Amino acid sequence: MAPLRSPEQSGISRSIVTWIVGLSLIAVVGLGVGLGLLHAFGLADWNKIQQARDVGKLGGTPTIPEAYQEVIDKAAERCPEVPSRVLAAQIAVESGWQADAQSPAGAQGIAQFMPSTWSQYGLDANGDGVRDVWDPRDAIPSAAELNCLNRRLVSSVSGTPLHNILAAYNAGHGAVRKYDGVPPFPETEQYVEKVIELAQRYPSP
């Protein structure tokens, strides 16, 4: 017969098991998203996505992953004020081209939509009948469309229009209107600066 355990020991054991199970579920979910992307884009494209992500981190000349080039170009047509180089830089800063990215605040996918924002502005851009925040073919065009909406909503605000559009994506159009320009939030100011700086490093189309 197994020795009796104290309630404290049993509680610790249950906590350990719960922790292990939780980590396992996270690993399975992450693997599922990764396998889904491999299925959608293919192994060769996936490797190119990884390489483009690494180049951006190292400070070299960034490239738009080949698997996303057409998606970026078509999405940018939705909002000419945010050209493809800027949209690509925006996605790179948001997620590093990681379609399975999830922030501590709950932002999801390659374009880092909060669930409430996605439910309102997410598009079924690839026409498969599903508005999928984890699918770059839906999320990237949705980001471009949101940029265009923000352009209209902050059109009367002082400052550089493109900076205001990017700030609205990060902090919300209400904050941009409230401060009559890029809000004085360190995160938002750094976000705008990073996107603009990275966009200038992308090769011309």
pLDDT in tens, 73-126: 999 999 999 999 999 999 999 999 999 999 999 999 999 999 999 999 999 999
What is the residue type of 182? V
Question: What string of DSSP letters covers 82-145?
Answer: S-HHHHHHHHHHHHTT-TT-B-TT--BTTTTB-HHHHHHH---TT-SS---TT-HHHHHHHHHH
What percentage of residues in the chain have a pLDDT greater than 90?
68
| 145: annotated active-site residue | no
Check pLDDT > 50 for residue 6. Answer: no
Q: pLDDT band at residue 59, thresholds of 50, 70 and 90?
A: low
Check pLDDT > 90 for residue 199. Answer: yes
Q: Yes or no: say if 164 and 181 are a contact pair by the CB < 8 Å rule.
A: yes
Report CA-CA distances (Å) from 58 to 54, 147, 196.
Answer: 6, 28, 17
HSE, CB side, 13 Å, CA atoms: give it for residue 184: 1
For the whole prediction, is pTM greater than 0.95?
Answer: no
- 18: tokens are 């719960």
Q: How many CB atoms lie within 10 A of CB 117?
A: 18
Catalytic site residue from 8, 66, 70, 94: 94
